Structure 1
Amino acid sequence: MLKIEDLNVYYGAIHAVKGISLSIPRGSIVTLIGANGAGKSSTIRAVAGLVRNVKGKIVYTPPEGEPVNLVGKAPEEMVKLGIAMSPEGRRILPHLTVEENLQLGAFIRNDRDGVERDRDHVYELFPRLKERSWQKGGTLSGGEQQMLAVGRALMSQPHLVMLDEPSLGLAPLLVKEVFDIIGEINALGKTVLLVEQNAFAALKIASYAYILEVGSIVLEGRGEDLLKDSRVKEAYLGG
């Protein structure tokens, strides 16, 4: 579904991503793991069209359609192609209600009945959002805001869902709940690209994983294999 070849991302003089190549097969959960500054978020921001100084290829093949090189395309074009992102820090609109935030996620759609069905499905995935549908986004707890950010991403009917640090700042119980939901999203047929610092939780659900350090891939493999790898245990899983 998504193939990245020799990707380089720059912020001025900073070379944040250094010639990485990776593949996200359709129907999989692929995770990018690494410390702050490893280049994880820069990679998915490049896929989402949120970084302009990008070199290399990002080739996306929709379920029905020809391969498209995403480099140089605007963020709204990505959404129309079936790519949605839940950004780091949630970035919900605090002065709008839960319902309004979700409706904004469907801004490219004009099938009102379909939008309502998908909103109801988001409420099934996240019952707490339904209970708080009238509430301003800024008054939600951190965990509820994360659920809203993920739900909003689903409202565009994406084929590829990119999640940037969905467990950041959440209590352990909520972390488990969020990762259970990621598994459910994948079971619906969505492909998931997951950026995470919580290596243990990410590797437990990932079909495949890439470990980044200072903008380069230093290790890759199946999630279950990397969970047992002594180098990963020492560096990311507390020995």
Structure 2
Amino acid sequence: MLRITDLHVWYGGIHAVKGISLNIPKGQIVTLIGANGAGKSSTVRAITGLVKQVSGEINYKRPNGENIKLLSNTMVMLPEDIVKVGIAMSPEGRRILPHLTIEENLQLGAYIRNDKEGILKDMDWVYTLFPRLKERAWQKGGTLSGGEQQMLAVGRALMSNPDLLILDEPSLGLAPILVRELFNTICQINAMGKTILLIEQNAFAALHIAHRAYILEVGSIVLEGEGKKLLTDPKVKSAYLGG
């Protein structure tokens, strides 16, 4: 569904991503893991058109068979157009609008859509995935707990009805019980047909659910393979799973 080839990202004189290539097949959960500064979020920003000092190729194949170049050499597709072709992101730090209600935040996620019935159907689906949001639909986003804000951020991304959902550090700052709950929900979303790119520092949780994983270190991919197989890799266990 999404193929990245020889991606480079710079911030001024800092070379944050150094020629990585990866593939995200349709219907799978693919995880990109690594420590802070490894280049995970820079990769996501390149996919979503949020960084301009970039080169390489990012090709996206829609379910209808249409091939779209999100990045070709240094020509970058605009973020709003990337959402329109079926890619949505729940960003690191959640970034909900605190002065708006839960329902208003979710409605904003559907701003590119005109199908009222479809929007209502997806709103119901989000509330099924996250019952706590339904219970508090008219509560201001800024009054929610960290876990509830993360649910809202994921739900808002789903409201654009994406084919590819990007989750950037969804477990950051959450208690272990909420991490387990969230990752179970990610599996449910995938089971409903959504392809998922999961960016995570929590390697243990991410590798457990991922069909495929890539490990980034200092802007380069150093290891890749099936998620559960990498759980037993000595290098991964030593660096990310506490031995």
TM-score class, shorter: over 0.9
Deviations 1:168-197 (A, max 9, x none): 000000000000010000000000000000
Return 5+ residue gaps in structure 1 as ranges: none
Q: Tell me the distance in 1 between the aligned counterparts of 2:54 and 2:104.
A: 33
Runs of 4+ more than 4 Å apart:
none
| CA distance in 1 between partners of 2:132 and 2:22 (Å) | 36
* 1:143 partnered with 2:143: no
Question: Which residue does 1:43 correspond to in 2?
Answer: 43
In 2, Cα distance between equivalents of 1:14 and 1:197: 22
Identity score, percent:
73
Pairing of 1:148-167 with structure 2 (within 5 A): 148-167=152-171
Distance 2:135 2:228 in 1: 36
Q: 2:230 aligns with which of 223, 226, 229?
A: 226
Equivalent residues, number: 239
Cross-structure match for 2:132? 128
Matching residue's letter, 1:159: D
- So what's the TM-score if we normalise by structure 2? 0.98
What is the CA deviation profile of residues 98-120 of structure 1, one whole-angstrom value per residue up to 9, with x for unaligned ones?
00000000000011111011001
| 3-state SS in 1 of match to 2:171 | coil
Equivalence for 1:90: 94
Asked if 1:64 corresponds to 2:68, the answer is no
1:24 matched residue in structure 2 = 24
Superposed displacement of residue 52, structure 1:
1.2
Quick one: which amino acid aligns to residue 170 of structure 1?
L
Of 73, 77, 83, the match for 1:79: 83
CA RMSD after TM alignment: 0.5
1:228 is paired with a residue whose SS is coil
**Cα deviation code 1:41-65 (max 9, x no counterpart):** 1101110111111100000000003
Query: What is the TM-score of this pair, normalised by structure 1?
Result: 0.99
d(CA) in 1 for partners of 2:164, 2:235: 30
In structure 1, give the amino acid aligned to 2:66.
Answer: E
Q: Secondary structure at the match of 2:221?
A: strand
